[in-house]
A and B are shown apart, each in its own frame.
Chain A
Amino acid sequence: MKRHDQNGSPRRLRPRAPRTLAAVLTVSAALLAPLGGPAPSQAAAADGKKVLTVAVAQSVDSLSPFLASRLVSTSIHRLMYEYLTNYDPKDARAIPGLATKWTPSADKLTWTYTIRSGTKWSDGKPVTAEDAAWTFNKMMTDEDAATANGSFVTNFKKVTAPSPTELVIELDKPQATMAALDVPIVPKHVWEKVKDFSKFNNDTQFPVVGNGPFVLTGYKADSYVRLEPNKEFWRGPAKFDELLFRYYKDGDAAVAALQKGEVSFVSGLTPAQTAALQGRPDIKVNDAPGRRFFALATNPGARAANGEKFGDGHPSLLDQRVRQALFMAVDRTALVDKVFQGHAVEGEGYIPPRFSTYYWKPSAQQKLAYDPAEAARLLDQAGYRENGDGKRVGKDGKPINYRILCHATDPNDKAVGQYLKEWWGDLGIGVTLNCLDNVSDPWLAGEYDLAFDGWSVNPDPDFVLSIHTCDALPATPDDVGATDNFICDKTYDELYAKQLAEYDPAKRADLVKQMESRLYDLGYMNVMAYPNALEAYRTDQIESITTMPAEAGNIYGQDGYWSWWSAVPAASDDSSGGSGSTGVIVGIAAGVVVLLGAGVFFGLRRRATAEDRE
C-alpha cells in the first residue's frame, strides 16, 4: 500500500498544522508576555534606585558569622558587621574599625581595645564593648560558635568589657595577629536569644541587625542576596541605593549578563573572557595583581607529630639537590606567558608582591633560575643518573616516575602538568598527572610525590606561614593536622616563633622574609606564579570604585568593605543599555502575537469541531 493513499487529502489535514502552530504560539506568547516588564536593572531605573549588581557563583553556606567559611559569605559579613580593626586599602596595614585604638601590655599578654563610642546597631541600640566581649566569650565557650573563627580565640585566656568603650583580651602566650582579628562582632541583644548555634543560619528575619556599611534586607538561596546602605554607618553611607549579589553559576552566562548590563560587576574571569571584554567602551577590565600563589609542593616524607612516618612519597625527594633540580627545570616565564597568557606574575618568594611589607625575592646568587643543564648536573651529583634508555633511576634501580596530584577542575594544573611532563621528561624523569575532583584524601594520607598547591594570602601572613611549621603536623597518622605538606624544619620553626612574638612591624617583616628565604632554599615549595585577579565592571553603571591595594588592586574579595562601600554610581546610569524601550516594544508585539495566536487557535478549533460534527 502506498503511504500517501492512506493520508487522504492533504488539504483536509492542513488545518492541524496551523492549529498546532497556533497552540505553540499561544504558549510561547504567554511566556513572552512579561517582556514588557522590567529587567532587573531596568527595575532599578524605574523606581529611581541606583543598584549595584554583583555576579557571584558560590553558594552562601550560612549567613551566621559563627558558621560561614566560604568567601562569598565572609565577604557579606564584612559588609554587615564591623570588625575590631580593618585594613587600609592602600597598604593593608591594620586601621581602626569598631576599635579606635589598641595597645598591648608590657608583657604582651594583655590587649586593651578602645571601642568607638556613639555608634549604633541598625535597630538603634548602642554598640558597646560588651557586644565584642560577648561575641568572643561565646566562641570560647560554645564549640558550635567556634566553627568558623575558633582559631582566633584558641590562645585567649579571658575577655572582659570593664566599660562600654573598653575591651580587654588576656592571652596565654603572645600573638602577633591581635590587630588582625577577622571576627565579625555581633549584637549581644539579638544573638543571646539564639539557642543552638550549630543550626541558626541568620537567614529568616530581615533586616538583619548589624553595624557595618550595609544592612542585609533579603536573601533567597542561590538566587540573590540584597543589601541596603546603613545610613548610620560611622564612615558615612554607601552611595548606591542597593547592593545586589545575583547568582550566575556559569561564568560565560555571567559575562553575557555583564555585556547586557544586567550586572554591574563580574569577577573570576578566564583569560579568554578577559580578551572578549577588553576594548568594549562600556566595560572596564581590571587585571589586578592577585593575592594567591600557584605552586608545586613536594612531599617531604609525610609524618606525624609523634614521629611516625606514613604515606608513600618518592624517597628521592628527601634530597634537597633533587628538589632544587626539579625547581630549576621549570621555566616559570614560559608558564606565565603560555598558561596564564600574561595574566600572572612570575613566582619567586612565598608571599605575592601585592603584600609589599612581606614580599621577598631571592638574590641573583640565591635564585634557582631556569637551567636544565644545571638541573641535570645536580641530579647526577645526587646519584640519580640516567640508564641506557635515558631514564633516571632511583636508588632501587627503577626509573623515577613522579605522581603529581592535580585538581581535576583546574585547567591551569593540567596545562602546567603537560609542561612538566616535557621538561622533566628531558631530564629522564617520568611524570604521571593524578587529576582528581577531591585531592584531599591522598594529600592528607601523604600518598603523592608532588602536588599543585595554592593559597590566598591574608594581609597578615601568619596563617600561610603556620601551615609549614612542625606544630601543624597531625598528632598521629590517623589525625588531621593543619599542615599543608608535612614540612617540618627546625630553623623555619624558630623564625616562625620569633615573628609571632615580634610586635615591631619592621622587625617582624624581616623575620618573615627570612622564613621565605629558608622555604625557598629548602625547595619544598616551588612558587611558579602569582595569578592576576581578572574582573570587569560596567563604566555606565559604576563611575569609580576603590581597589585594594589602591594602586592597581582588585575589587572582589578585598580585606575590608572598600570596594562596595566606595563605589560611586555613574551619572547616566542607563544600566539597561537602552533595552528598556525595546522591552516595551517587544512586550506590545508579544501581546499582539498572543491575541493573534489565540484568535487563530480558536478559529481553527471551531472549524475542526464543525468538521468533526459532519
Chain B
Amino acid sequence: MAADAASARVTKTERSGTGYLRYGAGKLGGAVVSLLAVLVTSFFLFRLIPGDPVKYMTGGRQVSNEQLAAYRREFGLDLPLWQQFTDYCHKALTGDLGTSYQFRAPVIDKITEALPNTLILTGTAFVLYTALGVVLGTRSAWRHGRLGDRLNTGLALTLYSIPSFWLGLLLIIVFAVGLGPIPGLFPTGGMESGGEEGFAYVLDVAHHLVLPVITLVAVEYGQTLLVTRSALLDEMGSDYLTTARAKGLKDDLVRRRHAVPNAMLPTVTLIFVNLGRTVAGVILVETVFSWPGLGGLFYQALSVPDLPLVQGLFFVFAAAVIVMNTLADLIYPLLDPRVAR
C-alpha cells in the first residue's frame, strides 16, 4: 500500500507539469475575480449601514447648512452613487483607498500605521499556537485515550470555549496587577511605554506582548490541536504505518516521517485560514490590551461610519484571506498530487 502510494506519487510528479500550471492558473484567476468582487462588494455593503457620516461627525456642534454642504463636497458625498462608485474603483485600482473622514488622513496611512502592530501581535501568537497545536495534537493522537491525551484535549476545549476578553482581563488582574503572592509582572495594556528607542524599544514591545499573546495562544491553539489530532487518528490504522514499523523504523520516525505528513492536509488548510485571519487581528484582545492594531481601527471606522476607512480595511482583510487560501490551494498539490489532477 505504501509502495503503491509512492509509485502513484512518482507517476503523478512526472506528468504534472502542465497539470499543475493549469491548476495554479485556475486558482490565481479565481483569486483575482474574488478580489474584484470584494472591491465592488465593500463599496455597496457599507452603504447599507444606517447613519450619515457627516451628521455623525458634526453631531453635538453648531454647524451651518453651508458647513454641512462643504463637508459633503469634501468627501464626495454630494455626487450620485454611480459616480462615487466609479471614482472609488478608479482610485482603488491605482492604490488610493481614499481619505478617512474622521482622521483626515489617507486610509493607506492609517492601515500601514496599524498593520505592523497587528502583525506583531497576531503573528507571534499564530506561530506559537500553530506550533503548540500541531505538536500537542500529534502527541495526543499518537497516545490517544491515555491520560495525557484526555488532559490535552480537555484543556484545549476548555480554553477554546473561554471568551478571549475575559481570559485577557483575568491575566491582567493576575499577572499585570498581581494577585496574592504573584507580583505584577507585565504592563496592563498598550504596545509600548513610549519614548524608548532601539533595543530598549524592542524589549519594551516584547514585554507588552506577553499577556495578549498568551491570551490568543490559549484561546486559539485548541482548534489546531483538535484538527491535527483527528486527522492523524484517521491515518493511524493505515497499513503503511504497520509496514514502516515492520521495516524496523523507530516509532518516533514512523510518526514524524510517515504518519504526520500524510495527515497534514486539513491542518494546512486551517493554518492558512488562520494566517489570513491574522491580518484582521483579534478585535476583542486588541481592545482589552489596548493594542493599537487594525481591530480597534475597524471598530472606530464602523461606528462613524467612516466609509473610506471601513472599505479599505474590509478590502485588506478579505484580500489577506483570499491570498492565503490561494496559497493553500497552490501548496496542496505539493502535499498531495491528486489534488491538481
**Chain A residues within 8 Å of B, Cβ to Cβ:** 1, 3-4, 6-10, 12-13, 16-17, 20, 23-24, 27-28, 30-35, 37-40, 43, 59, 61-62, 64, 67, 69, 143-144, 146-148, 150-151, 154, 198-199, 201, 218, 220-224, 226, 244, 246-250, 252-254, 256-257, 259-260, 262, 436-438, 440-441, 444, 455, 463, 466, 474-475, 479-482, 577, 579, 582-583, 586, 608, 611-612, 614
Contact = CB atoms under 8 A, between A and B. Distances in A.
18 contacts: A35-B186, A40-B194, A43-B193, A154-B64, A201-B104, A224-B190, A226-B194, A246-B189, A248-B190, A250-B287, A253-B169, A253-B289, A256-B169, A260-B176, A441-B55, A444-B55, A480-B65, A579-B178
Nearest to B183: A582
Interface string B27-38: 000000000000
Interface stretch (B67-75, B90-98, B267-275): B67-75
Interface stretch (B3-11, B141-149, B318-326): B141-149
Q: 5 smallest A-B Cβ distances: which pairs?
A: A8-B251, A222-B292, A34-B203, A34-B207, A151-B62
B189 A39 contact: no
Given A10-B143, A67-B104, A440-B56, A586 B183 contact: yes
Contacts of B74: 144, 198
Given A579-B183, A611-B250, A256 B63 contact: no
Contacts of A6: 142, 236, 241, 245
Contacts of A10: 143
B81 interface: no
Interface string B103-116: 11100001001100
Given A8-B250, A34-B207, A260-B178, 12 more contacts: A35-B185, A150-B63, A198-B104, A199-B104, A218-B194, A248-B190, A250-B287, A253-B288, A436-B50, A441-B52, A455-B60, A579-B178
Greatest chain B CB density within 10 A among A31, A252, A441, A612 is at: A31
Interface footprint category on B? 35 or more
A143 B176 CA distance: 48
Interface of B: 50-52, 54-68, 70, 74, 99, 102-105, 110, 113-114, 128, 131-132, 135-136, 139, 142-146, 165, 169, 172-173, 176-178, 183-195, 200, 203-204, 206-207, 209-210, 213, 236-237, 241, 245, 250-253, 286-290, 292, 296, 300, 303
Contact of B51 (A1, A24, A440): A440
Contacts of A4: 143, 145-146
Nearest to A258: B188
Contacts of B300: 59
Greatest chain A CB density within 10 A among B54, B146, B288, B290 is at: B290
A490 B289 CA distance: 52
B211 to A, nearest CB: 10
A253 B211 CA distance: 12
A220 B135 CA distance: 39
A12 B252 contact: yes
Contacts of B251: 7-9, 12-13
Given A9-B251, A69-B61, A199-B104, A3 B144 contact: yes
B177 A39 contact: no
Contacts of B56: 438, 440
B290 A440 contact: no
A482 B57 CA distance: 13
A441 B62 contact: no
A117 B320 CA distance: 58
A70 B43 CA distance: 27
B185 A586 contact: yes
Contact of A37 (B55, B132, B204): B204
B51 A146 contact: no
Contacts of A480: 54-55, 58, 65, 68
Contacts of B65: 474-475, 479-481
Contacts of B288: 249-250, 253
A341 B187 CA distance: 32
A31 B213 contact: yes
A142 B203 CA distance: 46
A189 B303 CA distance: 37
B320 to A, nearest CB: 21
Given A12-B251, A223-B190, A253-B172, A441 B51 contact: yes
